[in-house]
Chain A
Amino acid sequence: MTKNCLKRMAVLLLCGALSLGLFTGVGLAAETIKIGVAGAHSGDLASYGIPSMRAAQLVVDQVNAKGGVLGKKVEIIAEDDACKPEIATNTATKLVSQKVDVVLGHICSGATKAALGIYKDANIIVMSPSATNPDLTQSGGYPNFYRTIASDDAQAKLDVEFALNVLKLKKIAVIHDKGDYGKGFAEFAKKFLEESGKAEVVLFEGITPGAVDYSAVIQKVKRENAEAVIYGGYHPEASKIVGQMRNKKMNTIFISDDGVKDDTFIKVAKEDAEGVYASGPKDTSSNPLNVAAVKAHRDKYGEDKGAFFENAYSATLALVNAIEKAGSTDYNALSKALKSEWVETPIGKISFDQRGDAIGAGFSVYQVKGGKFVEVK
């Protein structure tokens, strides 16, 4: 008897919950188009994520000022993932439950990978301005994923070619931080170096992020007489390694990825940063759309744009454009529009290939000169 009672109550509750969910879903979807923005908005990697949130806001403000898309206003729902895979799954679930139509994010590759499955199950298109792990597009496991940044292998290829053909190096040590992003980059760099046959990889090692001292690895680099270190990882460790190498009076060339091409790196490593090479998105600062975007950022926030700002701005433009061209936020229609339509963005005129990589977005090598990253021509 009591069992039956309980069952009936449960069914009633379930019905109630379902109908409520249905109503709110319908009610809100009619009002706005929701763009979820996920990334590191707090924590030690916030400097990678906040610029994207601002970029999305600027684009959305502009779109809304012109009356929105498909007659609806666009709304931003920001969720923080602190660049941590274990938090990113929660972030994704939250965004899905808030019924976002598309997602701009996530920022870090590890977090993006962790979150993608959840969006895929919910048929939501995700576009990252910064997740460069090759697997995300090349594995074929995430058909809902797009990005406005070239992948690590493109970046590793560029760095390796630069080291071999411009710097003419023969002995290179490859070091990484054991993370998805850093190790992925380092493995590609090693592969390309070995395939070229022009240089020798004298060392391939992972370091522990957050350690108090890297002198043992640095001694190893020294013992192997490496002319250069190619480092895959983020700026906090990079500045420690460069600093300790210079302390040991080593002039080893340091080449790294766009995790290091961040002004915080120069701020922290100070004079030791001079001469460091890092690849990063192509300099498109003279593009008129970019100039306007940067100016809008300066007017609204009163400071300089941060990392991946242009990529995020472009991604938001591409998403809004695709929604407009597709005439709806339906998954299939959006996919088709993203892959067929070209859109003018701050990083150039872009579209997306079958795997979701942006056509028209690329990398350049930069060098720190006089406390600034300067593109190496």
Chain B
Amino acid sequence: MSWDYFIELFLGGLTRGSIYALIALGYTMVYGIIELINFAHGEIYMIGAFTALIIASVLSLFGMHQLVVLVLAVVLAVVYACAYGFTVEKIAYKPLRKAPRLSVLISAIGMSLFLQNYVLLAQTSDFLPFPKLIPDFEFWEPYSHIISSQELTIIATTVVVMILLTFLIKFTTIGKAMRATAQDKIMAALVGIDVNHIISITFIVGSATAAIGGVLIASHIGQINFFIGFIAGIKAFVAAVLGGIGSIPGAVLGSLVLGWTESFFTGYISSDYEDVFAFLFLVFILIFRPAGILGRSQTQKV
């Protein structure tokens, strides 16, 4: 057993975990506010990636600098995905605010299928090549065989996004309103918080992180199709549950734990049963900590 190998697996798991985290953040934020598992979240991630692909292809035609293309693609993907997240909430969830939770859940699954098929029809069913938007940093060349500059970017972005989100929720008025809404919607409304407005903002912020994730991950694996949101979404959802759904540090921690579990299991045992083991591990953690690693157990509101 060599240390090099261990470190490589550790970094591989860290990358994988960061990928999950960028998507898991959206799940956990939405759940925190309206206790809805937003199954369409994976699709928002996919739409973000598609938007970036289209923008990047168009901009590359004009021969723009790679960094300019990257920034513009990310910004526009975020704007587009936010618009989708906002609209999805208005169409599929808001009219069901007073309905039983199961109805909203089914509405979410329907939205997910709808968006998948919409992209399938509007774009293509083929796998499309995704350009390498993140350049190979020159200063990082000596270490790039251990961890590539793209992986480094993903990890760094996750950290930054997590810090920004924590800041948003802990120290801003909007964050305060979000926490209030999460605690008690009626009471929050009574003290003058526009609950619908706050929920919209939550969806927009969640969609933005998913879009950023979509661009970075697609650039990392170099291909996209209409179905990528599903698998990534499921894994991220599992990560969010593992960390304690509703908690932002929990989503990141859960993602990292899931990433490391998969990476080490593959590295030291076998990748044949990678998913089986990851889910077994999830079951174990939930047996001992039913609310997730960082989740607070709360009495079920019926």
Same assembly: yes
Does B43 sit at the interface, judged by CB under 8 A? Answer: no
Binds B, one of A135-143, A155-163, A207-215, A344-352: A207-215
With a cutoff of 8 Å between Cβ atoms, the chain B residues found around residue A212 in the complex are 16, 19-20, 217, 220-221, 231-232, 235
With a cutoff of 8 Å between Cβ atoms, the chain A residues found around residue B5 in the complex are 219, 223
Say which residue of B19, B127, B226, B228 sits within 8 Å of A268 (CB atoms): B127
Q: Are B126 and A264 in touch, CB under 8 angstroms?
A: yes
With a cutoff of 8 Å between Cβ atoms, the chain A residues found around residue B8 in the complex are 215, 219, 222
* A32–chain B nearest beta-carbon distance, Å: 31
* A202–chain B nearest beta-carbon distance, Å: 14
Does B274 sit at the interface, judged by CB under 8 A? Answer: yes
With a cutoff of 8 Å between Cβ atoms, the chain B residues found around residue A22 in the complex are none
Say which residue of A208, A236, A270 sits within 8 Å of B274 (CB atoms): A208
CA distance A156 to B85 in the complex (A): 47
Q: Are A249 and B145 in touch, CB under 8 angstroms?
A: yes
CA distance A240 to B222 in the complex (A): 7
CA distance A50 to B288 in the complex (A): 51
Q: Are A46 and B125 in touch, CB under 8 angstroms?
A: yes
Q: Are B222 and A243 in touch, CB under 8 angstroms?
A: yes
Q: Are A43 and B125 in touch, CB under 8 angstroms?
A: yes
CA distance A270 to B275 in the complex (A): 29
With a cutoff of 8 Å between Cβ atoms, the chain B residues found around residue A270 in the complex are 129, 222
Q: Of all chain A residues, which has the CB nearest B136? A: A247
Chain A 243-291 interface residues, beta-carbon cutoff 8 Å to B: 243-244, 247-249, 264, 267-270, 272
Does A341 sit at the interface, judged by CB under 8 A? Answer: no
* A314–chain B nearest beta-carbon distance, Å: 26
Q: A211-240 toward B: CB 8 Å interface, digit per residue (1/0)? A: 111011101101100000000000110011
Q: Are A240 and B221 in touch, CB under 8 angstroms?
A: yes
* A213–chain B nearest beta-carbon distance, Å: 5
Chain B 206-240 interface residues, beta-carbon cutoff 8 Å to A: 217, 220-223, 225-228, 231-232, 235
With a cutoff of 8 Å between Cβ atoms, the chain B residues found around residue A207 in the complex are 271, 274
With a cutoff of 8 Å between Cβ atoms, the chain B residues found around residue A121 in the complex are none
Q: Are A44 and B227 in touch, CB under 8 angstroms?
A: yes
Does B89 sit at the interface, judged by CB under 8 A? Answer: no
Chain A 36-63 interface residues, beta-carbon cutoff 8 Å to B: 42-44, 46-47
Say which residue of A206, A213, A219 sits within 8 Å of B267 (CB atoms): A219
Q: B269-284 toward A: CB 8 Å interface, digit per residue (1/0)? A: 0111011000000000
CA distance A207 to B19 in the complex (A): 18
Does A194 sit at the interface, judged by CB under 8 A? Answer: no
With a cutoff of 8 Å between Cβ atoms, the chain A residues found around residue B2 in the complex are 223
**Given that A216-B266, A217-B266, A248-B148 are known contacts, is A206 also in contact with B221, CB under 8 Å in the complex?**
no
CA distance A243 to B224 in the complex (A): 14
* B110–chain A nearest beta-carbon distance, Å: 20
Q: Of all chain B residues, which has the CB nearest A217? A: B271
Does B144 sit at the interface, judged by CB under 8 A? Answer: yes
Q: Are A216 and B126 in touch, CB under 8 angstroms?
A: no
Q: Are A247 and B148 in touch, CB under 8 angstroms?
A: yes
Chain B 178-225 interface residues, beta-carbon cutoff 8 Å to A: 217, 220-223, 225
With a cutoff of 8 Å between Cβ atoms, the chain B residues found around residue A46 in the complex are 125-126
Does A353 sit at the interface, judged by CB under 8 A? Answer: no
Q: Are B231 and A213 in touch, CB under 8 angstroms?
A: no
CA distance A47 to B127 in the complex (A): 10
* B137–chain A nearest beta-carbon distance, Å: 13
Say which residue of B16, B127, B144, B226 sits within 8 Å of A215 (CB atoms): B16
CA distance A38 to B151 in the complex (A): 42
Q: B2-26 toward A: CB 8 Å interface, digit per residue (1/0)? A: 1001001100110110011000000
Q: Are A205 and B272 in touch, CB under 8 angstroms?
A: yes
With a cutoff of 8 Å between Cβ atoms, the chain A residues found around residue B267 in the complex are 216, 219-220
CA distance A43 to B221 in the complex (A): 20
With a cutoff of 8 Å between Cβ atoms, the chain B residues found around residue A217 in the complex are 266, 271
Q: B118-137 toward A: CB 8 Å interface, digit per residue (1/0)? A: 00000001111100000000
Partner-B contacts on A (CB < 8 A): 42-44, 46-47, 178, 205-208, 210-213, 215-217, 219-220, 222-223, 235-236, 239-240, 243-244, 247-249, 264, 267-270, 272
Partner-A contacts on B (CB < 8 A): 2, 5, 8-9, 12-13, 15-16, 19-20, 125-129, 144-145, 148, 150-151, 217, 220-223, 225-228, 231-232, 235, 262-264, 266-267, 270-272, 274-275
- List the 3 closest A-B pairs by CB distance, nearest first: A216-B266, A215-B12, A210-B231
- Residue pairs across A and B with Cβ atoms less than 8 A apart, 20 shown, are A46-B126, A205-B271, A212-B20, A212-B221, A215-B16, A215-B263, A216-B16, A216-B262, A216-B264, A216-B266, A216-B271, A217-B266, A219-B5, A219-B267, A220-B266, A220-B271, A236-B127, A239-B223, A243-B222, A269-B129
